[in-house]
A and B are shown apart, each in its own frame.
Chain A
Amino acid sequence: MNIIVCIKQVPNTTDVKIDPETGRLKREGVESIVNPFDEYAIEEAVRFKEKYPGSTVTAISMGPPQAESALRQAISVGVDKGVLVCDRVLGGADTLATSYALSQAIKTLGAFDIIFCGKQATDGDTAQVGPAIAEALNIPHVAYVRKVESSDGKTIKVERLMEDGYDVIETNFPLLLTVVKEINTPRLPSLKGKMAAKKAQILTLTAADMKCDESRCGLKGSPTQVMKIFTPPQRQGGQKFTGGPEELAKTIVGKFKEIGII
């Protein structure tokens, strides 16, 4: 099987601090990590490979040259190949232009059976790129997958997490799945994996390599535009209560009544 996993490098939000004076996001010293949701996608792709011997997992990432390290990290946990989609022409892409570029990369690599994506990236938080890649490739997708129940290589049965439970959906290959955290526990890199990651050749694809229509790339191919970016007002702390449990309980039940929840 040809298995593809799409990943994104994002800033580690644990490190993101707000400058108390300017109220701005401080980006200095913020480490770049693999989008946390993509780790589950990588793990599921590698598990698929293990189920179907002879399979290959290719990780694809679109981003600056530094995003290569995200691909190496994927290789360290069992991905075979890394492909970096990197071109200034692609800069400023919104979700439509991003999914176009990634779908062109996937077409360039040839035939595939299944594509895994994380449910969303933690910087943009849109959850739009996965389904839009499926649309661009004209294949079915299932989003928010919490479990692959069964797969015989031709059809696949998955559980789609919903607000009120889950739906069981069956579909055929080729297809795209976006996965949630519940689906697995990602493994840690092995020593062998770390060595492979170090040595791996990362293939870089430019817009020309992928025969992209430039009018569909970058800002030119993005129907949405950022008008402005601002920092929301920080939440201010409120009243602090100390004392014995009984006293605290009386106080807070009084507040419940004020708010109108009891």
Chain B
Amino acid sequence: MSSISVLKDKCVGCGQCQQVCPFGAMSLVDGIATVDLNKCTYCGSCVDVCPTAAIVLKKDEAKAGIDKADYKGVWVYAEQRHGEISGVVFELLNEGKNLAKQLNVPLSCVLIGHNIKDKAADLIKRGADKVYVCQDPILAEFQDDPYSGILTQLIQKEKPEIVLMGATNIGRSFASRVAARISTGLTADCTALEIDPETRNLRQTRPAFGGNIMATILTPNHRPQMATVRHKVFKEAKIDENAKGEIIDFTADMSKILNRTKFLQFVKDETSHINIADADVIVSGGRGVGGKDGFKLITEFADLLGAAVGASRAAVDSDWIAYSHQVGQTGKTVAPKVYIACGISGQIQHLVGMSSSDVIIAINKDPSCPMMQIATYSLEGDLFEIIPQIIKEIKASRS
């Protein structure tokens, strides 16, 4: 069992460990650092910061019982939805190529679906050296059982060292089943990836506590190292029409593939023309928008910019707009190039869902609200006066 203790003769009671502990497990009792073992997760943050080396941490390590050298290559799961490759895949191919170059291994894609083999060429043009294609009528639409069964079989057969997947609803639904079946590590929703040149381990950095802290995660002894990666973090791989690659048909052992769910139908969200997870520009409305009519103005503004419409929880809970538009902790996390917050004060739960946007523009009557404080550009005033003027100005600049 892992253990942590404080050497009382070395501890000077400086309290730095208490400040650094992300789990509130350290406190000073009679001037000596004390660990609440019920809260400690043995992350080691306190050990790193202790100036007198007074904290002794013994960490258990998970042993995998595999030879890591047997695992070679970087894989990208080429997610498709209704036969179209998801945008995040092209971003993963770009970052995957960087990692594969550093490791001096090929970059491969896994494409699962039905009648989708023609998409393999697009993946090669975006940098894949190999594309494994698995097609079957039961794979036409995403279902957890058959998709996780096939990806598991392929991984066990080909033994890649890294598997990257989009942190989409599909990726986050079935990656966890695959990792559990293989008994390997999976890091969710990564925003940075890096190879440790000495160990060839993948350093996976991800936000936690709603983005208030960042954690770098390793899967040191298990393979493959699996990660889901947030959309819009990496740039898309460029298209090279002359790129060459190999397309490999994978015939899964269908007798071992479970299929306990039945896909009945897909119902498109008609309230949004543009998916907020994919959007480069989002115009978002909050309590200050005042009602359904106010959202008509927000939508008009968004349409003019080719932007998606977002909303704060307050607006969704008041039934002014559908939940699928909600940005923030209980809604979606977005990171567009430009996020325009109209009448949104910026509660922490909203900020964690959008604060990694490149440019934030806030329109609000209250200059002291949190959104106006963090915005790249903040416009103080009534959105019902400012937005119609902006619309007029854009139309004038285009005519």
Contacts and interface: CB of A to CB of B under 8 A. Distances in A.
Main secondary structure on A side of the interface with B: mixed
Given A36-B329, A252-B377, A224 B185 contact: yes
24 contacts: A65-B38, A91-B40, A91-B41, A127-B188, A128-B179, A135-B180, A164-B275, A168-B267, A171-B260, A181-B323, A219-B61, A219-B62, A223-B62, A223-B222, A226-B217, A227-B203, A229-B43, A230-B215, A235-B360, A237-B374, A239-B376, A245-B388, A248-B379, A249-B389
A229 B379 contact: no
Interface of A: 11, 13-14, 16, 18-19, 22, 24-25, 27-28, 30, 36-37, 64-66, 88-89, 91-92, 94-96, 99, 122-132, 134-136, 139-144, 146, 157, 159-172, 180-182, 215, 218-232, 235-243, 245-246, 248-253, 255-257, 259, 261-262
Given A30-B24, A92-B42, A227 B373 contact: no
Contacts of A235: 355, 360, 374
Given A96-B179, A232-B207, 14 more contacts: A13-B352, A125-B208, A128-B172, A136-B180, A140-B258, A163-B278, A167-B141, A167-B263, A169-B264, A220-B60, A229-B43, A230-B215, A243-B381, A253-B390
B15 to A, nearest CB: 11
Contact of B397 (A28, A223, A229, A253): A253
Contacts of B59: 92, 219, 225
Interface of B: 1-2, 19-24, 37-45, 48, 59-64, 81, 141-145, 148, 168-170, 172-177, 179-181, 183-189, 203, 207-222, 258, 260-269, 275, 277-278, 280-281, 305, 307, 323-324, 326, 329-331, 337-338, 347-349, 352, 355, 359-361, 367, 372-382, 385-386, 388-390, 392-394, 397-398
A223 B184 contact: yes
A160 B23 CA distance: 33
Contact of B262 (A131, A171, A215): A171
A173 B184 CA distance: 28
A224 B186 contact: yes
